[in-house]
């Protein structure tokens, strides 16, 4: 859980680093080139980095499976889905 939180904070930090030069350089130039009123210029703002809910993950996996996408057997996909929904990972001998 701690690793996930740190990872999300790192992602938000990277998005902050992208956001700042866009607002400082790109938006004013685009606004100026188009002759728009600087007072009306919006700011680029990223949203909050969130983890996907187990319910949404289940719906996505179900929709993909119904559409014909072969998700299983794939140990990496199965381990990811199991971890997201709180199920134990498959034992190494079962992955063969």
* CB 68, CB 78: distance < 8 Å: no
**Predicted TM-score (pTM) above 0.85:** no
| Whole-number Å distance between alpha carbons of 64 and 75 | 17
Domain ranges of the chain: 1-46, 52-88
Please name which of 54, 40, 44 lies closest in space to residue 15, comparing C-alpha atoms: 44
Q: What is the pLDDT of residues 20-59, one digit of tens each?
A: 999 999 999 999 999 999 999 999 999 888 777 778 888 8
Band of pLDDT at residue 3, cut at 50, 70 and 90: low
Mean pLDDT for all residues in the chain: 84
Identify the pLDDT of residue 1.
Answer: 54
* CB 22, CB 44: distance < 8 Å: yes
Dihedral sign for Cα atoms in the order 48, 4, 66, 59: negative
Identify the pLDDT of residue 83.
Answer: 80
Q: Omega of the bond prior to 84 within 30 degrees of 0, cis? A: no
Tokens in use for 46? 């990223």
């Amino acid at each position: 859980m701690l690793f996930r939180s740190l990872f999300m904070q790192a992602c938000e930090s990277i998005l902050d680093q992208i956001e700042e030069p866009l607002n400082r350089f790109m938006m004013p130039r685009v606004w100026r080139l188009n002759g728009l009123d600087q007072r009306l210029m919006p700011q680029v703002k990223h949203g909050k980095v969130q983890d996907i809910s187990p319910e949404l993950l289940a719906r996505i996996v179900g929709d993909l499976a119904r559409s014909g996408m072969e998700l299983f057997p794939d140990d990496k996909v199965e381990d990811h889905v199991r971890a997201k929904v709180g199920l134990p990972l498959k034992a190494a001998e079962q992955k063969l």
